Structure 1
């Protein structure tokens, strides 16, 4: 006899299956692999991203789990890249409630103040972007798209730490990769101390630990660092090597990253790159090949 599943749990199971099928591995920072038959993510991949057991998640999709906790639901929402509305709907299905999500938990552009978006657009020649404490990219200007590529801020490029540790091109484009990567680990450890109950941050840390030996090594040595300024070298596929100053300004829950030339040669090259590509994107919607941000 078929086990009866209550309507709400059946609806929750169907919702999770639909959102899992929608999300492509690349959008979650996972390799596609040569023998993938499942549309979207596999159950074990969702479980891994949300830091829950595969067995528990399978039962959840089968409608055989009681009432999940709010932290687990938040982690699943992050793993499945749910919008703010979908995130609230997940809570409604699972718990019969629609909590007010904390500031910065949504990836929607509305979370960024209009004044900050105006500030980004008002810096036309220098790449600039806005993140939260998890280093999720919330907004960026046209110069950042010219430097990092048109996909910057979405899909696999939605988080600069994920890009740095998981994008194959990171070690080629970031010529000071080890230093910048270690600084990033220090930033995330400070963020974890300030936001110990953030399930999305916990899921990101678990993902990076499971996929990067260097991240695990530096995380375990308890590196703590709040970087605010520095200089780094990047290799752009068209513009060549660029030497850039970076400054990080904090405004409320957001971090504003700006990149400016560190020498006259970079100044000339960066200005040419930005003006050429922003004009080309406006006129023809052509794309630029990305480099990895951090």
Structure 2
């Protein structure tokens, strides 16, 4: 019976060529990637032992075996972390597991988000669901950073289907898919729901997911079609929220005078104007208005 561990091992060895690991090229090779025996030899274990791992029949390999397998499969630290977690299912590793119950964001973190009037910031859980976002983040990509939205779903389902933007979309979708595999708990019903939904609805995502890439969200640059401004490169950084396992703080930033900073200043002004208008409207009608749309929805790739 296929297992998540077996799927991961098979996918990773299938992506390696013999010459990638110092083995001679063989034109008669009939299987893609490395053979089980070759991975086992590179890791210094028996082929039978490796087969038991791939079939999910071995549950107590040592740390040394995990490190050796990671080296044989050319995994980085994130990949070895994921491999170890798949082997030792049910045992939290590095605090990345997502609780089953909905998470609440600490009041102090919410207050911090609101005080960052010129810095878009979002709190995500381990499945990359949005738990909270400040006004500037909501204005940056309307709809994507609303509470309850999912970062991966928003990117995949907002995908372009032709032209140069499709390549940018692919890179972002692959990045966030790898992040879900790293941060999320593969046994979490929400995790399973997200992956099943996207694989069923988008064949391109299904191909991305089957690559079994694993990468923690740390930092990078995203291309965002900002409403009424246009496409802008905006740097971002992830911080872990202290004492809130699995919660990630996504912060967008830009140096003074950079296009990103110009975008933030412009959006901050729009947010302030919208807030002032709402206060005036509330005073005139005596009824607090609902949230106003600042502009047409933007895109992110």
Residue 227 of structure 1, CA deviation:
2.4
Match of 2:135 in 1: 142
Match of 1:114 among 104, 107, 111: 107
Which structure has the greater CA radius of gyration? 2
Residue 174 of structure 1, CA deviation:
9.0
Q: Are 1:267 and 2:258 matched, yes or no? A: no
Unaligned runs of 5+ in 2: 1-97, 279-290
Counterpart contact for 2:121–2:251, Cα < 8 Å: yes
| Structure-2 change in CA distance of 1:255 and 1:272 (3 Å) | same
Q: Superposition RMSD on alpha carbons, in Å?
A: 2.8
Match of 1:242 among 232, 235, 238: 232
Counterpart contact for 1:174–1:233, Cα < 8 Å: no
- 1:209-224 correspondence runs (5 A): 209-224=199-214
- 1:34-183 correspondence runs (5 A): 103=99, 105-106=101-102, 111-149=104-142, 152-154=145-147, 158-167=149-158, 176-183=168-175
| Structure-2 change in CA distance of 1:175 and 1:197 (3 Å) | closer
Counterpart contact for 2:223–2:233, Cα < 8 Å: yes
> Take 1:245 and 1:173, find their aligned partners in 2: how far apart are those partners?
18
Unaligned runs of 5+ in 1: 1-101
> Take 1:120 and 1:202, find their aligned partners in 2: how far apart are those partners?
30
Residue 274 of structure 1, CA deviation:
2.1
Residue 268 of structure 1, CA deviation:
1.9
| Structure-2 change in CA distance of 1:280 and 1:175 (3 Å) | farther
Match of 2:292 in 1: 286
- SS of alignment partner, residue 106 of structure 1: coil
Counterpart contact for 1:250–1:256, Cα < 8 Å: yes
Structure 2 length normalisation: TM-score? 0.55
Match of 2:190 in 1: 200
> Take 2:248 and 2:211, find their aligned partners in 1: how far apart are those partners?
25
Residue 235 of structure 1, CA deviation:
1.5
Query: Which segment drifts farther, 139-148 or 172-181?
Result: 172-181
Which stretches of structure 1, 4 residues or longer, exceed 6 Å deviation after superposition? Answer: 169-175
Equivalent pairs counted in the alignment come to: 186
- SS of alignment partner, residue 261 of structure 1: coil
> Take 2:137 and 2:115, find their aligned partners in 1: how far apart are those partners?
13
> Take 1:125 and 1:215, find their aligned partners in 2: how far apart are those partners?
34
> Take 1:187 and 1:257, find their aligned partners in 2: how far apart are those partners?
13
- SS of alignment partner, residue 235 of structure 2: strand
Residue 197 of structure 1, CA deviation:
2.2
Counterpart contact for 1:131–1:137, Cα < 8 Å: yes
> Take 1:115 and 1:175, find their aligned partners in 2: how far apart are those partners?
39
| Structure-2 change in CA distance of 1:293 and 1:253 (3 Å) | farther
> Take 2:137 and 2:165, find their aligned partners in 1: how far apart are those partners?
15
> Take 1:135 and 1:173, find their aligned partners in 2: how far apart are those partners?
23
> Take 1:197 and 1:266, find their aligned partners in 2: how far apart are those partners?
38
